[in-house]
Amino acid sequence: MNKLIKQTKTIAITQLGFFSLVVLFFWIKTYAVYQIEFNLGIENFIQQFLLFINPVGSAIFFFAFALLFKGRRKIKALLGINFFLSFILYANVVYYRFFNDFITVPVLTQSDNFGQLGGSAMALIQPYDLLYFLDFFVALAIVLWKKVELPTMTRRSVTGVFLAGILVFTANLALAEMDRPQLLTRTFDRNYLVKYLGAYNYTVYDIIQSSKSSAQRALADSNDVAEIENYAKSTYAKPNDQYFGKAKGMNVIYISLESLQTFALDYKLHGEEVTPFLNSLTKDKDTMYFDNVFHQTAQGKTSDAEFMLENSLFPLPQGSVFTTKANNTYQANSAILGQEGYTNAVFHGNGKSFWNRDEMYKSLGVDKFYDSAYYNMSEEQTLNYGLKDKPFFKESMPYLQELKQPFTAKFLTLSNHFPYPLDEEDQTIKPHTTGDKSVDGYFQTARYMDESLKQFFKDLKASGLYDNTMIVMYGDHYGISPNHNKAMSKVLGKEINSFENAQLQRVPLFIHMPNMEEKTGAKGGVNHTYGGQVDIRPTVMHLLGMDTKEYLDFGTDLLSEDHQELVPFRNGDFVTPEITQVDGKVYNNETREQLDEEAAKKYEKYDEAVKTKLELSDKLVYGDLLRFHKPEGFEPVDRSKYDYNKREE
């Protein structure tokens, strides 16, 4: 009798088809995740249909590899593949919750960063996340409860399963190309790839692209740089005579304003200004404040902003340049100024290896790197990503005063970082009341950073360095991702859609020059010029009296009359004073309404110009083409000169 029951259980599960059951559950789970966790911008029936079918093609194809095994190993392989693919999906879920983006292979190589994420990563994990592995546990329970026996399949049958998966994928890709031509050849936005092909096929595509990028350097030669040299000459914007060289010989201090978006300036919470000190600088006669500058970072975030500041090149579409291309040849701002007699230093209250800075800075020509080893990293002084901003600036002053002048010094703030925790004794404004913990805390940490900047300016004046120092402060990337649109609608009192999200990518840019009117003949104030982070380097270099004509910059001087007000985003979207393109849709900035197809055609030239900029910049970085470019008077950086392991007392 017991033997008969066991046989019945085995027959029942075999008839149901364990393989088909696993595929079905996995398909349903994946589609549910797409709908719950990702904002993929589904616009029509074809896109919705593709989103629905793409998991089944991936599941059939990848699970088919288990059929190549024999006996019980077939079951183990099926469960193993299920868990592995589920983990890939879940990793993307967690990553997307903050970055509103999908993981790439280069990001996975940045393992040194993961151990330092601390509360940021934990804040992204939810109790219900275990459900995203439910299909795996169900399959495992079936295996443990019943004696599952997958029938021995002929080679032809296994081949048929693989072909079924390939057939579904081919049909998927054909429909995707109909709705989005050149999907795989001219797509900068990973959102499109996941929407049309699915998370698993996107991962395969990403692996292939990463392999191709690694091969580009080996195949590149001096002929490849000619196209980029010609492009740089054609887009060069000559300096404005009123400002060119007016800061010549001055020290330069760059301050990265962590996660600060322009909407936070002049914002009042509970009747108080969130950033009173920065607000005062927008009205200061010695400060130029640019209110239409947008961040252009990708997966490298703060490191991407540094990369643009130094090189006027776009960050890569996958991973961080700091991590994947640290050994490339660069003609960075630090190296150029270093060869003009400047001392270069970076101050950062975190470990030197975070974002691979200790390697990348050698290629940029940074002389001194003051990392966490130089600071008091006690529990009272650290929070979240490292040293709090107030002790960071305080403890940096003695090192700054020791630098040989003229110098450039970059300060990387940390306190205003997701998930925006702040010790009670440091809170000088009450949180917002949206109910979204991250958004509510953002205003408190922004206030804390503002107070630390005010104190730093005071200390700089007391040190005697202030009068001969130009201070450049820039927001590095967004602080509030599109995943918090509901809360941001309460903050700003309006619906936050795709167009409004693009407008929120503005980050503040301040250029503070003591006695500006005396030097330039013009007072500071608010400058409404549209620009991006790639434009900061040529703007500062021209103020210092160094023409960028010999260098391959993809940005142009914000103060130049020839500056083109076209701001590309890394995903191929862009903004101009007139229009904004988001996800292929064109909006009128004034009316905030989407243009019809006929009216949008007028601006297709901008779309082509943006794609050209991004493609040429990528070609330069992937191919390491600056090793073939020889600006007059510039000597290639010798990485062996730099050693940040030696702690200077």
| Residues tagged active-site | 302
Type of residue at 159: T
Cβ–Cβ under 8 Å, residues 123 and 436 = no
Residue 544 CA to residue 519 CA, distance in Å, equals 12
For residue 90, how far is the Cα from the chain centroid?
A: 20
Cis peptide leading into 391, omega within 30 of 0?
Answer: no
Residue among 252, 225, 386, 247 at smallest CA distance from 310: 252
Helix (H) or strand (E) run with residue 182 in it? none
Residue 135 CA to residue 140 CA, distance in Å, equals 9
CA–CA distances in Å: residue 211 to residues 104, 105, 218, 315, 571: 12, 10, 12, 18, 20
Cβ–Cβ under 8 Å, residues 570 and 561 = no
Measured from the Cβ of residue 603, the count of other Cβ atoms closer than 10 Å reads: 16
Q: What is the dihedral of CA 26, 32, 36, 37, to 10 degrees?
A: 20
Q: What is the DSSP string of 118-133?
A: THHHHTT--GGGGGGG
Residues with Cβ < 8 Å from 569, sequence gap 6 or more?
294, 296, 502, 505, 575
* Phi, psi of 531, rounded to the nearest 5 degrees: -165, 180
The interaxial angle of helices 45-63 and 199-219, nearest 10 deg, is 80
What tokens were used for 106?
A: 């280069």
Residue 575 CA to residue 297 CA, distance in Å, equals 15
Residues with Cβ < 8 Å from 646, sequence gap 6 or more?
none
DSSP state of 506: B
Residues with Cβ < 8 Å from 605, sequence gap 6 or more?
none
